[in-house]
Amino acid sequence: MSIYRDKVCVITGAASGMGRELAKQLAAQGAVLAISDVDTQGLEETRKMVGAGNRILVDVLDVSDKQAVIDYPAKVEAALGPADYVFNNAGMTRVGDVLNTPLESMEQVMDVNFWGVIRMTKVFLPQLIRTKGVVTNISSLFGLIAYSGQAHYCASKFAVRGFTETLALEMKDSGTGVGVCCVHPGGVKTNVARNAIVDYIPDNVSREGLDKDFDELAITSVDAAVQIILDGTAKRKKRILIGKDAKVASFLQRLMPIKYQWILGKYTKDRVKI
pLDDT tens readout for residues 72-89? 999 999 999 999 999 999
Q: What pLDDT, on the 0 to 100 scale, is given for residue 272?
A: 42
Stretch among 14-28, 51-65, 163-177, 238-252 having the lowest mean pLDDT: 238-252
- Is position 3 within any domain? no
- Is position 2 within any domain? no
Cα 18–chain centre separation: 8
Chain segment 1-40, per-residue pLDDT in tens:
799 999 999 999 999 999 999 999 999 999 999 999 999 9
- Is position 274 within any domain? no
Give the domain CATH number at 54: 3.40.50.720
Q: How large is the average pLDDT for residues 96-119?
A: 96
- Is position 90 within any domain? yes
Catalytic residue among 153, 200, 260, 267: 153
Q: How large is the average pLDDT for residues 128-146?
A: 95
Total structural domains in the chain? 1
pLDDT over threshold 80, residue 204:
no
Distance CA 159, CA 151 (A): 12
Q: Does the model's pTM come out above 0.85?
A: yes
Query: Active site includes 153?
Result: yes
Q: Which residues of 10-33 are buried (b: 16+ CB within 10 A; e: fewer)?
A: bbbbbbbbbbbbbbbbbbebebbb
For residue 14, what is the DSSP state?
A: T
- Average pLDDT over the chain reads 88
DSSP 44-61: HHHHHHH-TTS-EEEEE-
- Is position 273 within any domain? no
Q: How large is the average pLDDT for residues 41-50?
A: 96
- Is position 1 within any domain? no
DSSP 96-155: B-TTTS-HHHHHHHHIIIIIHHHHHHHHHHHHHHHHT-EEEEE--GGGTS--TTBHHHHH
Confidence of residue 193 (pLDDT cuts 50, 70, 90): low
Domain assignment of residue 45, given as a range? 8-267
- Is position 239 within any domain? yes
Q: What pLDDT, on the 0 to 100 scale, is given for residue 243?
A: 85
